[in-house]
Structure 1
Amino acid sequence: MDAFIAQFLNPAIMQAALPDIAEAFLRTVWLSLAIIFTGTLAGLALAVLRAVGKAPLTFAVRAYADVTRSLPPLVIIILWFFGLPYFGIRMSGFMVSWLVLSLVLAAFAEEIFWSGIKSIPKGQLEAARSTGLSFGAAMAHIILPQAIQHTLPPMTSRIISTVKNTALAATVATPDLLGVALTVQGKLANTTPLVMAAVAYLLMIYPLVILTKRIERRRAWG
């Protein structure tokens, strides 16, 4: 038991690693929030474009969503990070992780929001347009508020997956939570920093899990 504690829950290692882990935790929270904000807005915009009903727009949005959702996020991150410099485009690991994971979230969010839009009877949009509202105004004031309510459970679940995916940033030298934990673990030859990172991820994600359950419970109760 003493050997287990010394390797996985070493108090001295915890104290030494805490400043680096805490800084990385805040950096990961910031990365997660940036991805969620950008990806959610982009996904909503794509769903609205698809709702316009123009064949070229619909094809482009569906193609983007299908292709992006079919590729592992890690593959896209590595392609961007190591491939773009050949075209003279250099970005930090943080920037690549933010952009790629935002685009991935947007692809999934588009499908979720599109399902929400489709769940609203077409007559509501037609009635709104008949009153003189433009398509954009009708979507913003009539359709989207209802559609977004319908999409809260699946979007929250997708956001949880997105926060987990931030760990992929460690593969492109981003000093996120996992990346810093691995670095400190290597320096100190002890697994405790990785346990600290796991606890930090739990602190980030567990509240979202509880929130998802509450949303689903409220919807079940009507």
Structure 2
Amino acid sequence: MDFVSTFLNVEVILRVYPMLLKGIGNTVALASATIVGGGVAGVLICLVRLYAPKVFRGLAIAYIDLFRAIPILVLLVIIYYALPFVGIRLNAFMAATLALGLVFSSFTAEVFRAGIQAIPRGQTEAAAALGLSFPVTIWRIVLPQAFRIAIPPHTSNAVAIAKDTSLASVVAMPDLLKQATDAQALTANPSPLIAAAIMYLIVLLPAVRLVSYLEERFRNDGKAA
């Protein structure tokens, strides 16, 4: 067999295309749930880390340090295979979303902490002097500026966690990699894996370019300011 018929076999790819299409749909759904849920949780954890009473700040720091350090693969195995022994059973999608979301939220918290701490302290002091409440100060003054600072690294982390959705195959979730691997086994041909790689590129390359665009835009905005 030649290279094309082995790795770029169009007949094989067309035969398994419905499997790959289902896989990319599951991958996008998993990435979206992780980014949205983990992003919101990360911002809330960041606020606890910076402004809550000391005991809660300590818990937030421990949470961030733990889930930034633990490998996603290990966390997936613990959540999906170990939790049932204590009576907690999650399906593959929920287990993968939880594992990826915990890790993504910890990185999000650190990114937004850096963004908030980069804002001059005088702005919050001025808001307090004007009689603005703490929630209003955070929502109207602190977070909008922190978002502008944090968006480029946060987007980069989102792209990274989207690639890590491929790890969900270890808990038998039918994501793109799992479907491609099953298709390879069914056809005895690696072409489905090449097709899956191309589909990953189609989805992720625009996101990578978005990161570069945001970094350049906010860098130029900073110089203009």
Q: TM-score range by the shorter chain?
A: over 0.9
Q: Where has structure 1 moved over 6 Å in runs of 4 or more? A: none
Q: What does 1:40-55 correspond to in 2, within 5 Å?
A: 40-55=39-54
Q: Secondary structure at the match of 1:174?
A: coil
| Pairing 1:128–2:107 present | no
Deviation string for 1:55-94 (max 9, x for gaps)?
A: 1122111111011111101000001111011012111111
- Alpha-carbon distance between aligned partners in 2 of 1:133 and 1:221, rounded to the nearest angstrom: 31
CA contact (8 A) 2:148 2:218 kept: no
Give the Cα–Cα distance (whole angstroms) in 2 for the partners of residues 91 and 54 of structure 1.
33
Q: Count residues in correspondence.
A: 221
Q: Which residue of 2 aligns with 1:19?
A: 18
- Which stretches in structure 1 are left out of the alignment for 5+ residues? none
Aligned to 1:162: 161
What percentage of residue pairs aligned between the two structures are identical?
Answer: 37
What TM-score do you get using the length of structure 1 for normalisation? 0.97
Alignment of 1:49-198 (within 5 A): 49-198=48-197
Distance 2:196 2:150 in 1: 31
Distance 2:122 2:79 in 1: 44
Shift of 1:187: 0.8
TM score, norm. by length of structure 2: 0.95
1:151-170 deviations in Å (ceiling 9; x for gaps): 11110110011001100000
Counterpart residue number, 1:9: 8
| Pairing 1:198-213 to 2, within 5 Å after superposition | 198-213=197-212
Question: Residues of 1 paired with 2:50 and 2:66: CA distance?
Answer: 19
Compare 126-135 and 82-91 and name the one that shifted more. Answer: 126-135
Taking only aligned residues, the RMSD between alpha carbons, in angstroms, comes to 1.0
Show CA shifts across 1:165-212 (max 9, x none): 100000000000001110111111110110111111111111111001
Q: Work out the CA distance in 1 between the residues paired with 2:14 and 2:154.
A: 37
- In structure 2, runs of 5+ residues without a counterpart are none
Matches of 2:132 and 2:55 in 1, distance apart?
24
Question: Counterparts of 2:122 and 2:154 in 1: how far apart (Å)?
Answer: 26
Q: Tell me, in whole angstroms, the C-alpha distance in 1 between the residues paired with 2:46 and 2:191.
A: 44
- Return the alpha-carbon distance in structure 2 between the equivalents of residues 142 and 220 of structure 1: 21
